[in-house]
Chains A and B, each alone.
Chain A
Amino acid sequence: MENVKILEVINLKKYFPLKSASFRPFAQRQYLQALDGISFAMYKNEILGIAGESGCGKTTTGNILAGLYEKTSGQVIYKGKDISNLKGKELKQWKKDVQMIFQDPFNSLNPRFTVFRNVVEPLRIYGLNKNVNEIEVVSNALEAVELRPAKMFLYRFPHQLSGGQRQRVSLARCLVINPKFIIADEPVSMLDVSIRSAFLELLKNLQQEEELNVFYISHNLSEIRYISQRMVILYLGKIAEIGSTDQVIDNPKHPYTQKLISAVPIIDPNRKRERISIEGEIPDLVNLPPGCRFQSRCSYAEKKCFAIDPELIQIEDGHSVACHLYSRS
């Protein structure tokens, strides 16, 4: 895959202000540090997976890219410009280029609109439906997501469809204005296991045919391994490890990634998996201790880890990790 950078995220931060519990009017405002400076790049025509436990900031990143949240600081560079100071036509173009699928199939479609009305909405927002036959465009989009025959689904309501079909309609709603980016926020986690791979297959093929870039968010590592070429492991708003899927899963470097992979249950009862035990709860995101965020739960933690926050260091081609075990000093 030619590694032409299509999107770059530099030192992205997102702090949510908290109502200060104490009433002192000038009390230093407490912040929930959801994202604390993450940087990564997305290459052309690739599915980038983001994995991590709930509360690690993966959905926040997705929401910032999709424009739902405004970032506190850092940059998101698309076509050489930071998306937050795009104006007018360029902003509209960026809004058209990025679309999003959501986790909850029951609420990701407007219950009062038919499938047709849901899918045609983006066209009507951008006025693209003027000189084109809406029915035809929507039917093609439905056929593209394997909802065949399209006319059978056009005038049905979301509550008449199964979970899998609804997620496909959401995907069709994204494809109808042929975007460059699709942000998928755990699209299959609420679907039955037996029909998940069909949706993942569909997403993979569409990504190849339409030359899309998919930003795949999930807490299920096996899913990420199945669908994405490169992946990022997030822990409490910071990147723990980044690299190609095989590199990260076959020989994980960061202690947290090792723990994450060892905790995934195996389907074959004959093969035993050695469980790395881990103690303690995820620390509170408001007043975080200095140094590495995994220090309270890491068995290799040493003096340095409690003081300095490790940066991302490249340890092999395309595979970098943020842990003092590998820092050169």
Chain B
Amino acid sequence: MTYRYLIERTAMMLLTMFALLVIQFFMFRLMPGDPSASIVSGSLTREVQLQLRKSWELDKPLYVQFVNYVYKLLHLDFGISFFKRIPVIEIIRYRFWNTVIFMLVAMIWANFIGIVLACVSVARRNKTGDTALILLGSVCRATPLFVTGIIVLTIFSYWLDYFPLGGMHAIGVGSSTFLGRFLNFDFLYHAILPIFTASLFYFTVPFFVMRTAMLEYVGEDYIALAKAKGQTNVNILIKHLARNALNPVVTSAAMAIGFAISGQVIVEIIFRWPGMGTELVYSTLRRDYPVIQGTFFLLGIIVIFMNYVSDLLYLYLDPRIRYAKFE
């Protein structure tokens, strides 16, 4: 039963990626303002425009363009950036891992805090601890990330000057190896503030979902039976309540990842983190289509892959799906 679900889910993931590709292709082609409008400005002569359009293969029928587009995409060739005149992949390859690593660390850390705080809040039901946590959660959830970002930046960087103003490395520090970039104190020193800000926003989704789920499960019969077995309250809270409440937390991951990716863009802008988010925003402002397409596609890939991972995690967590029901 499990590998059937696995194969189905992988097929679904690939289908979603293909759909993302299709949506993106049509979105850019059919939008008002032909993609090459910014380059092929009106002032150029007629035949230069035609020549440029031909070089961007815009004159061929749509499906031919689509096939070429897919072919090139599979070779990670997103075309040449209008603005920087260098292949898009060069720009993106460096930034892709910055975003992925950042999101991974922030998400894991935020989920960890969310789950722990949910347990604390349920343990202290209706006491001051619980209401304080709800207030904190609601305010963090409701405040846009750039507001928290600015406030955190102002306090810790401007006034207290504990942390750098942004960016990922001090000037001059860099390393050739892929991992070298991340596994050094300088990176950590630069990363603490943005990750702290991002996790302030992300932790609310797992926190509220888990808290509501745990409050609902308190009335379940297996909790009463566990108590009847002479189990201590703490064990019941962790082993039975929290463990069961993990299922809904993972199923709500799809929504949480949606927020995380938006938060990612904002945090990168505020902290000038050289990730895909900043690249997307600035290239959109500059109407640099190939780069927009590239960053948008890869951000989509991250979201789809993280949804896929959370579904597999759910498969692992909930035995009812792993084992088919047979008498």
Consider the complex of A and B and state whether they touch directly, i.e. have CB atoms less than 8 Å apart.
yes
Residues of chain A having any CB pair with chain B under 8 Å: 21-23, 281-282, 284-285
Q: Which residues of A contact B324 (CB under 8 A)?
A: 21
**Chain B 276-327 residues near chain A, CB threshold 8 A:** 324, 326-327
Contacts of A22 in B (CB 8 A): 4
B contact residues around A281 at 8 Å (CB): 327
A284 contacts B7, C-beta separation under 8 Å: no
Cα(A143)–Cα(B3), bound, Å: 59
* A284 to B3 alpha-carbon distance, docked (Å): 23
Using Cβ atoms and an 8 Å threshold, which residues of chain B touch A21? 1, 4, 324
Chain A nearest CB from B295 CB (Å) reads 37
Given known contacts A21-B1, A284-B326, what 10 new A-B pairs fall within 8 Å (CB)? A21-B4, A21-B324, A22-B4, A23-B3, A23-B4, A23-B7, A281-B327, A282-B327, A284-B327, A285-B327
CB within 8 Å: A-B pair count: 12
Taking the closest CB of chain B, its distance from the CB of A268, in whole angstroms, is: 34
In the complex, the chain B residue whose C-beta lies closest to that of A281 is B327
Nearest opposing residue in chain B for A18, CB measure: B324
Q: How far is the CB of B19 from chain A (nearest CB, A)?
A: 22
List chain B positions with a Cβ less than 8 A from chain A: 1, 3-4, 7, 324, 326-327
12 sample A-B contacts, Cβ–Cβ < 8 Å, listed by A number: A21-B1, A21-B4, A21-B324, A22-B4, A23-B3, A23-B4, A23-B7, A281-B327, A282-B327, A284-B326, A284-B327, A285-B327
Chain A residues with CB under 8 A of B7:
23
B240 CB → nearest A CB, Å: 27
A23 and B3 CA atoms in complex are apart in Å by 9
Chain B residue with Cβ nearest A282:
B327
B3: which A residues are within 8 A, CB to CB?
23
A281 vs B3: C-alpha distance in the bound complex, in angstroms?
Answer: 29
CB distance from A31 to the nearest CB of B (A): 15
CB contacts (< 8 Å) of A23 on chain B: these are 3-4, 7
> CA–CA, A299 to B326, complex, Å?
26
Closest CB-CB distance, A231 to chain B, in whole Å? 27
Residue of A nearest to B1 (CB): A21
**Given the complex of chains A and B, what is the CA–CA distance between A281 and B326 in angstroms?**
13
Closest CB in chain B relative to A3 CB, distance in Å: 40
Bound together, the chains give a CA A285 to CA B324 distance in angstroms of: 15
Instruction: Name the CB-closest residue of A to B3.
Output: A23
Could you tell me the distance between the alpha carbons of A22 and B3 in the complex, rounded to whole angstroms?
9
Given the complex, which residues of B lie within 8 Å of A282, measured CB to CB?
327
Measured CB to CB, the closest approach of chain A to B114, in angstroms, equals 34
Residues on A with beta carbons closer than 8 Å to the beta carbon of B4: 21-23
B322 CB to closest chain A CB (Å) equals 13
A44 to B91, CA, bound (A): 83
- Chain A residue with the shortest CB-CB distance to B324: A21
Bound complex: CA A284 to CA B325 (Å): 11
- B1: chain A residues at CB < 8 Å are 21
Q: Which residues of A contact B327 (CB under 8 A)?
A: 281-282, 284-285
| Assembly CA distance A231 to B3 (angstroms) | 46
Closest residue on chain A to residue B4 by CB atoms = A23
Closest Cβ–Cβ distance, residue A303 to chain B (whole Å) = 27
Closest 7 CB pairs of A and B: A284-B327, A23-B4, A21-B324, A21-B1, A23-B7, A21-B4, A284-B326
B135 to chain A, nearest CB (A): 33
User: Closest CB of chain B to A92's CB: distance in Å?
Assistant: 39
B326 — nearest CB in chain A belongs to which residue? A284
Whole-angstrom CA separation of A13 from B191 in the bound complex = 66
Q: Would you give the shortest CB distance from B192 to chain A, in whole angstroms? A: 47
A272 to chain B minimum Cβ distance, whole angstroms, is: 33
- Chain B, Cβ-Cβ closest to A23: B4
Q: Give CA–CA (A169, B300) in the complex, Å.
A: 54
Assembly CA distance A165 to B35 (angstroms): 69
Instruction: Give the complex CA separation of A87 and B7 in angstroms.
Output: 43
Looking at the assembled complex, report how far the CB atom of B320 sits from the nearest CB atom of chain A, in whole angstroms.
Answer: 14
A249 to B260, CA, bound (A): 67
Cα separation A22 to B7 with both chains bound (whole Å): 12
CA distance A285 to B7 in the complex (A): 27
- What is the distance, in angstroms, from B302's C-beta to the closest C-beta of chain A? 29
* Complex CA–CA separation, A284 to B327 (angstroms): 6
Cβ-closest chain B residue relative to A285: B327
Q: How far is the CB of B148 from chain A (nearest CB, A)?
A: 41
A30 to chain B, nearest CB (A): 11
Give the distance to chain A from B129, nearest Cβ to Cβ, in Å: 35
